[in-house]
Amino acid sequence: MDMTRLHARVSSEQGFTLVYMAFFITLLLLFTGLAVDSGRAYVVKAHLTKAVDGAALGAARNLNSGDPRGEARRIFLANFPNGYLGTSSVTDPYTDPNFFDLTTDVTTGVNVVTVKATAILPTTFMSLANFNSVTVTSEGEARRRMVDLSLMIDVSSSIGSQWPLVAAAVTEFINAFDQNNDRVSLGTYGWGTQIIDPMPSTRGFAKSTVLSHVPTTLPGGVTPMAEGVYRAWDEVRSVPTGQQSGLRVIVLFTDGSGNTVPGLWDASGISKGLFTSDFPDVGDPGNITTNRPTIMGLYQTQTGARSPSPQQTTTWWNTSEYASGAQYLPLTSYHSFHRSSGIPFSFPLQSATLTVNGVSQQTRRGLLDWDATAGRYLAHTRNIRNAATNLTEIIANAARADATGDYPIRIYTIGMGDLVQALLGTIPETSESVLMRIANDKRSPDFNSMQMEGKYYFARTAADVGPAFQALQSQILRLSK
């Protein structure tokens, strides 16, 4: 073979090889560049998603108060500032109209916060194919159910000098709710049970007015807890069906235990309450408890006016002494004051179906000393205490079981001070255990899995009431998402 021709053939083949190699190297670089730039874009996408998700959640939390749009901006910029991870351009949360959106569905009671952002990432290897940048877009969404909240505060005399801290905690708690979309009612129970600010039927509440109505000084009184739960329930259910918020909540604060039985005690036809002081004596610093409890009444359940005024200081807590003019318990409770349609206005004073530590209420905390001639139980200290406690749990159970609304009702309770952990009454038992049953707290041995789960919070001192309310607020916000 001609060496010249052979050399030309070899040179030609080498030329083709170089062309092929150049082509494949270029292709390899493009694929490598695609992998590298895609990986960078994936990391940018992940961080951008994290930023918009966090911004949406933060804004939803701030729907209660403050500036939700501003909170979304703050969180977004903290997690994805301009130039982050080499991006050349990022959505400006101050000027971009598509960054933040809030919609409200009043029929379902849901607020929807949407945060959208875009970042432009310059490419490296992909620029060889005239792909000079990658646009990454992400969208975060957070939902928050609106709240119908009935807040019932114990203002009994035993709170004493601790009231200013309690009032401050209540004020901060109310301030955390959205005056444009949530509903809040405020009630107190002491000498009487009063709804200071009724639950609005329209969306929102007059926050400044409600805040101004938190008492600056302690009104004082006894502890008609059963009536307090009843009136709080009445306020929640007063919102018409079809307009109720997705989260319906009762919040009850107390420093003790229920000690008053509301009923028809005289011919007035108006519900009044008979009270017994707490027993036995547990050596509490405030001297609230005693071995010689006093029976007093009758307190009109709304105004707290006392008429008539039977009173008896007993010789010991387990005697059968009663106050003249209030010898027997009524057969049922009675509740004259309510405004929601269809709410029951009387309840039994003991239940065979509800349980106390797994034993029926009627057995564990039953009424004593039935008078066959009168057809009533004697109104002595043990029966007043048992009936008051039974009734509070019975009404709370009825509220949680109320199926007439668009959504079920949850109950949360806060107990303050060592007295709620003291063993009192006829069993004896702690107010804390009762408050857990009222809330249907999962820690209670009598937890009912068929009803909405609530929670009980303990505040050892008045200084701990604020953190307890804050923890409760966080719980409500978590549920409202």
Look at residue 9 and tell me whether its pLDDT is greater than 70.
no
Categorize the per-residue pLDDT at 210 as very low, low, confident or very high, splitting at 50, 70 and 90: very high
Rounded Cα gap, residues 143 and 345, in angstroms? 37
Could you write out the three-class secondary structure of 142-165?
Answer: EEEECEEEEEEEECCHHHHHHHHH
Checking if the pLDDT of 139 tops 80, the result is: yes
Residue 8: its pLDDT value, please?
55
- Which string of b and e fits 111-131 if b means at least 16 CB within 10 Å? bbbbbbbbbebebebbeeeee
Q: Where are the beta strands (DSSP E) in 100-222?
A: 100-105, 110-122, 133-145, 147-154, 183-189, 193-197
- Name the more confident of 285 and 421: 421
d(CA 350, CA 367): 7
The pLDDT > 90 percentage for the chain reads 74
CB 222 within 8 A of CB 262: no
Q: What is the pLDDT of residues 315-360, one digit of tens each?
A: 999 999 999 999 999 999 999 999 999 999 999 999 999 999 999 9
Task: Match domain 147-480 to its CATH number in 3.40.50.410, 3.30.110.30, 1.10.3720.10, 3.40.1190.20.
Answer: 3.40.50.410
The structural domains of the chain, with segments of one domain joined by +, span 3-145, 147-480
DSSP 199: P
Query: pLDDT tens, 35-76?
Result: 666 777 888 889 899 999 999 988 887 775 568 899 999 999
pTM of the model: 0.79
